[in-house]
Amino acid sequence: MAIDDENKRRSILGYMGVFAVVPPRPDGNINEQDRKHVSGRYRGQLVAAAVFSLLAPAGVSISFLVGDINGRVLTEIRADIPRVSWRKNAAGALSFSMPRRDSKLQPEYFMEGNRVLLQFDNGLPAWGGVLTGARDWSNADVAFEAVSGEWLLAARRTPRNRTFDRVTAGAILTSLLDDTDTYYPTGLRLGNVWQGGALHSPDYHYKSLYDVIADSLVDNLSAGAFDVTPALEGGHIVFYVNLYERQGSDKPQIVLAEGRNVSAIRYRELDEVINVWHMAGEGDSWGETARVYATAINEESVARHGMREGFEMRSGVVEQTTIDEAARSRLMETSWPTRVLGLSVLNEPPGRYEQYGIGDAVTCRLYSVGMAGVNSLFEVIGREFFPQDGVSDLVLLEAG
């Protein structure tokens, strides 16, 4: 079943606690589903009523491979899969269950830390991850959870006093992954790593590789996005770390159209405008030369909405060019009111699943929402697939 209410969507955005929890909408009471939500679990039904549906009604075939902690494929299983998700600059999640009578429900296949790989025949990208999280045992089934390959970054940390002197974000990632592999293998390989952009001089102290990339290289420095993508090579499930100047591209010819391939719509207009950003970098005092500072202003937005100021302190930032770019980038994100879409979509033209992915901006044509409808580019920042229905839920932000 697709996500059909706001709280279910909120629980997906914060799934697997370590990657943040978005709280449920306050409604005056706390029920069992609310308690699941705030504990970092999906508030919807994890185990479908029908086991071994074979996914035929949705017209999708899924190859589900299980490997050991080194990625060596051990077996292929047939599991009931309620949901699988991908998220921009964050970890996706997988829920699946196995009947207790299944001969492949063996400890060696479902060891914590084992790798899994899902391959779809409907155009969706392969999904790979790590078995972790809770297991729910019932009389008939065992429900499992897995987190996508980004989890491997969260499990490892930098040394203390790991410093860099005027190098690119891509060079920082390359060096840190090499350092960590030397200490103990991460199971990660370098993929498409952007080596351009400004030069930076951060330092890290026992910081997780996930936080280095998400909080430092992407949020503080000049990279635009990252992900970890799986592949099957020589009988092994492998993971590639990718760093992008921009993930995806504008695809105006790909259309999500109401009445065509859009089956449900949730639309929200948010006034979270900040049109003046003040920022400060790393330092031990607030003197003029103690740290780098930046201010960025959108004069047009100030004239239209009034002046709305914000401040952020960026740890690890010591270069003036870095803080200037961070302020400009943040300003681009917040200068105007935001339009957010939650869509349930089908694998149908004019926008089939294989034609767009996370980071792509596609045309959304919706006549029933907004003052005058919607007909503009929106970026895909989250995707969740429900195999039994053949439906995907998307979270999209209007492209700037």
- Per-residue HEC secondary structure of the chain comes to CCCCCHHHHHHHHCCCHHHCCCCCCCCCCCCHHHHHHHCCCCCCCCCCCCCCCCCHHHCCCEEEEEECCCCEEEEEECCEEEEEEEECCCCCEEEEEEECCCCCCCCCCCCCCCEEEEEECCCCCCEEEEECCCCEECCCEEEEEEEECHHHHHCCECCCCEECCCECHHHHHHHHHHHHHHHCCCCEEEEEECCCCCCECCEECCCEHHHHHHHHHHHHCCCCEEEEEEEEECCEEEEEEEEECCCCCEEEEEEEEECCCEEEEEEEEECCCCCEEEEECCCCCCCCCCCCEEEEECHHHHHHHCCCEEEEECCCCCCHHHHHHHHHHHHHHHCCCEEEEEEEEECECCECHHHCCCCCEEEEEECCCCCCCEEEEEEEEEEEEECCCCEEEEEEEECC
Global confidence as pTM = 0.81
Residues 340-369: what's their mean pLDDT?
97
- 299 shares its domain with 367: no
Give CA–CA dist 9/44, Å, rounded: 9
Tokens of 380: 């895909």
What does the pLDDT look like over 186-217, one tens digit per residue? Answer: 999 999 999 999 898 999 999 999 999 999 99
CATH number of domain containing 355: 2.30.300.10
pLDDT at 219: 86
- 184 shares its domain with 298: no
Domain boundary among 148, 181, 209: 148
Domain boundary among 108, 129, 148: 148
Give CA–CA dist 88/383, Å, rounded: 9
pLDDT at 25: 53
Domain boundary among 117, 148, 179: 148
Distances (CA, A) of 155 to 188, 210, 371: 12, 8, 46
370 inside domain = yes
pLDDT at 58: 56
Q: Greater confidence, 399 or 15?
A: 399
Confidence of residue 24 (pLDDT cuts 50, 70, 90): low
- 301 shares its domain with 162: no
Distances (CA, A) of 84 to 46, 120, 289, 294: 11, 11, 49, 41
Give CA–CA dist 328/298, Å, rounded: 9
The answer to whether the Cα torsion of 141, 36, 21, 338 is positive or negative is positive
Mean pLDDT of the chain: 87
pLDDT at 4 over 90: no
- 77 shares its domain with 191: no
N residues, the chain: 400
- 116 shares its domain with 240: no
Residues 283-293: what's their mean pLDDT?
93
**Percentage of the chain lying above the pLDDT 70 cut:** 85
- 257 shares its domain with 300: no
pLDDT at 49: 26
pLDDT at 177: 97
Amino acid at 136: D
CATH number of domain containing 171: 3.55.50
- 206 shares its domain with 74: no
315 inside domain = yes
pLDDT at 79: 96
Confidence of residue 153 (pLDDT cuts 50, 70, 90): very high
Confidence of residue 54 (pLDDT cuts 50, 70, 90): very low
What does the pLDDT look like over 38-50, one tens digit per residue? Answer: 444 444 433 222 2
pLDDT at 1 over 80: no
Tokens of 312: 């952020």
Q: HSE (CB half, 13 Å, CA atoms) of 60?
A: 24
pLDDT at 273 over 90: yes
30 inside domain = no
Nearest to 241 by CA among 285, 191, 206: 191
205 inside domain = yes
11 inside domain = no
298 inside domain = yes
Q: Which domain holds residue 144?
A: 45-148
pLDDT at 6: 52
- 53 shares its domain with 130: yes
Residues 330-343: what's their mean pLDDT?
92
Cβ–Cβ < 8 Å for 95, 136: no
pLDDT at 93: 96
Residues 167-180: what's their mean pLDDT?
96
Confidence of residue 362 (pLDDT cuts 50, 70, 90): very high
- 266 shares its domain with 281: no
**Phi and psi angles of residue 197, each rounded to the nearest 5 degrees, phi first:** 90, -175
233 inside domain = yes
220 inside domain = yes
- 389 shares its domain with 306: no
Residues 328-344: what's their mean pLDDT?
92
pLDDT at 286: 95
pLDDT at 133: 75
Give CA–CA dist 78/21, Å, rounded: 30
Residues 260-267: what's their mean pLDDT?
95
Give CA–CA dist 356/370, Å, rounded: 24
Number of domains in the chain: 4
Give CA–CA dist 225/249, Å, rounded: 12
pLDDT at 21 over 60: no
pLDDT at 36 over 50: no
Cβ neighbours, 10 Å, residue 139? 5
- 139 shares its domain with 165: no
pLDDT at 37: 53
pLDDT at 78 over 60: yes
pLDDT at 18: 39
pLDDT at 143 over 60: yes
- 363 shares its domain with 319: no
Residues 218-243: what's their mean pLDDT?
95
pLDDT at 256 over 50: yes
pLDDT at 53: 30
- Per mean pLDDT, which range of 10-14, 138-142, 267-271 is the poorest? 10-14
